[in-house]
Structure 1
Amino acid sequence: MSPSPKAQDKADKPHIIFVCTGNIFRSLSAEFGMRAADTRGDFTFASAGTNTHHARRLRSDVLGAIAAHDQIDAAGHISRVLNQDIVDGADLIVAMDRDHQKYIRDTFNRHAPLYLEISRDLSEGVPDLPDIVPDYKTNPVAAAAFVNETVTRIMNERPAFLKNIRRYL
């Protein structure tokens, strides 16, 4: 696999992209959470999804769960699909789950470590809502509980992620 095509200029902040399926839950949470946690401004963060059919309005439970941490306002987020320009501009692409890792490798010939691999050296992904709560559309209580738990996990991993990230750049 080829390394990042972007030359690492010491004056530039490393640009990190988080990738999930629809860019409306996990990668969104990681992007906004890291922006808030990186108080020194050492990095720039963005996010994208692998699939266009997920591009839609953000779920209110996701926005509420994100806002509960550091009063982060992600309401203006617009989901976008990962493309070659986004990949070329990234110093590091971080996959939220294994299927995203495979997509990035197969489509762009880039290695993307998992979010939990960077923060905790775990070779596991952050599961998506339909994987854990298949009836999420008709079971809003279970969906909201899973969303809160997942966003909290992503947010709680921020200090370890920021501590370890330079090993992956």
Structure 2
Amino acid sequence: MEYYKINPLKPDRKILTRTLEVLKAGGIIVYPTNTLYGLGVDVFNQRALERLFVVKQRTIDQPVSLMVASVEQLIELFARADQRQTNVLKKLLPGKFTVILKSKFKQNLAYFSSGSRNTKVGFRVAELPFNQKLLIKFGNPISSTSANVSGKPNAKTVQEIIAQFGDRLDLILDAGPAPDLTGSTIIDITKNPFLILREGSVGLQEVKKIIAPEKVLKRKTEFVVTFVCSGNICRSPMAEGILKEFFSKTKFKNLVTVQSAGTLDNTSGPAHPNAVSVARSLGVDIAAHQARTITREIVEQSDMIIGMALNHLEYLKSHFPEHAEKVALLKTWERKTGIGNPSIPDPIGHDLNFFKKVAEEIKNEIKRIMPFLFQRIKKFMEYNDLSLEK
């Protein structure tokens, strides 16, 4: 194992030449970046890639990213990018980002892209002068994966890297402590809106500023349905309990979260006793429910917001207009024909039988919309690159 102390801002010609020789010979190098130290090999050398995965103790279903010399080289040689994507690339790179794009090349693709039909690859662009010169002279991309054994903590110093790998590395370039242990922010710009797969050195709000006016979202792993009524003590808690029960019998049970809230200020307390009783007769337990008021935080975390009556729909659209696309009315959503009364009636002040009629109406409407919820969930899974556990 060779070791060199370097200044990444002032490339040393001899060290640069020796690093090139090691890469061309199929060796593994440790090199500094503007975040963590990386492990680099020639990505067109299959034996070097195989050795990298063995040394890092990484499985083939955990692809590594690639480091290239410049945005221009990336677009010209290695990735497919339309004008919109190119404009965003120039805003993000070089920087603390790994950007997901469609790859132009097929060689050794399994090491960089998850799934046999997936040709998307993560790319970084060198920011440090040493890396820029190295990659220009080398011609090929090199791997860009953190210099730690899979599952072990990110290493701040080369001493920590050596402690993890021992003598299994070929050349180490020591530029001092790593500047940022959180790693790069990974963003998929093949999605619309763009999707942050991992929030690293640069957070969501900062990314929004950098790429404005383009939209970007953060990857989610749960689909959230929120029912809304007035006081959150009758209609919406019953709807929440009924939908939870329906989903408990589906393959999506671990993917979907169902909740509820009310439009009235400072609403609190348990569900109405009649609502609890009627729900129990339907095999649903809402005895532990505690009422709450709808908030911006609840709206933002929700993927589908379902109002029980027209006044709830109007409230949601007027108070949260930027989220109007995910707001619907229970009785009219995806209904192909007109309906006389689009609202679920408020049972407050009525007897137990009226509560039963309301609960049955809610249950029937939820049954009606289930196929459309399934469609939404499948699109959500596709967008967020999720799969169900077998």
C-alpha distance in structure 1 between counterparts of 2:229 and 2:266, whole Å: 13
C-alpha distance in structure 2 between counterparts of 1:35 and 1:6, whole Å: 30
Of 288, 313, 318, the residue aligned with 1:106 is 318
Of 289, 294, 309, the residue aligned with 1:82 is 294
Change (3 A) 1:119 1:43: farther
Structure 1: where are the runs of 5+ without partners? 131-135, 137-141
Displacement of 1:13: 3.1
SS in 2 for 1:118: coil
Correspondence for 1:51: 264
C-alpha distance in structure 1 between counterparts of 2:216 and 2:272, whole Å: 34
Displacement of 1:95: 0.7
Correspondence for 1:21: 230
Q: What letter matches 2:371 in structure 1? A: K
Correspondence for 1:150: 358
1:156-167 aligned within 5 A: 156-166=364-374
Change (3 A) 1:153 1:57: same
Change (3 A) 1:25 1:168: same
1:95 aligns with 2:95: no
Displacement of 1:22: 0.6
C-alpha distance in structure 2 between counterparts of 1:77 and 1:59, whole Å: 10
C-alpha distance in structure 2 between counterparts of 1:168 and 1:97, whole Å: 22
Alpha-carbon displacement from aligned partner over 1:64-123 (angstroms, at most 9, x marks no partner)? 101111x21110000010001100100111111110011111111132211112374556
**Higher share of residues assigned helix:** 1
Task: Give the paired residue count.
Answer: 154
C-alpha distance in structure 2 between counterparts of 1:59 and 1:119, whole Å: 30
Structure 2: where are the runs of 5+ without partners? 1-192, 194-214, 378-390
C-alpha distance in structure 1 between counterparts of 2:352 and 2:272, whole Å: 10
Displacement of 1:63: 0.5
* TM-score w.r.t. length of structure 2: 0.36
SS in 2 for 1:113: strand
Change (3 A) 1:36 1:128: same
Displacement of 1:44: 1.5
Correspondence for 1:12: 221
The answer as to whether partners of 1:26 and 1:151 remain within 8 angstroms in 2 is: yes
The answer as to whether partners of 1:33 and 1:72 remain within 8 angstroms in 2 is: yes
1:117 aligns with 2:325: no
SS in 2 for 1:72: coil
C-alpha distance in structure 2 between counterparts of 1:145 and 1:84, whole Å: 35
- Structure having the higher Rg: 2
SS in 1 for 2:260: strand
C-alpha distance in structure 2 between counterparts of 1:105 and 1:66, whole Å: 29
Q: What letter matches 1:144 in structure 2? A: L
Correspondence for 2:278: 65
C-alpha distance in structure 1 between counterparts of 2:303 and 2:222, whole Å: 9
C-alpha distance in structure 1 between counterparts of 2:242 and 2:236, whole Å: 10
Alpha-carbon displacement from aligned partner over 1:22-52 (angstroms, at most 9, x marks no partner)? 1111111111100001122152110000003
Change (3 A) 1:95 1:168: farther
CA RMSD of aligned residues (A): 2.5
Q: What letter matches 2:238 in structure 1? A: S
Change (3 A) 1:162 1:143: same
Percent of residue pairs bearing the same amino acid type: 23
SS in 1 for 2:242: helix
Displacement of 1:168: 5.7
- Farther off after superposition, 86-95 or 117-126: 117-126
C-alpha distance in structure 2 between counterparts of 1:68 and 1:107, whole Å: 35
Displacement of 1:150: 0.2
The answer as to whether partners of 2:331 and 2:343 remain within 8 angstroms in 1 is: yes
C-alpha distance in structure 1 between counterparts of 2:307 and 2:317, whole Å: 10
Displacement of 1:167: 5.3
**Higher share of residues assigned strand:** 2
SS in 2 for 1:52: coil
Q: What letter matches 1:126 in structure 2? A: I
The answer as to whether partners of 1:13 and 1:43 remain within 8 angstroms in 2 is: yes
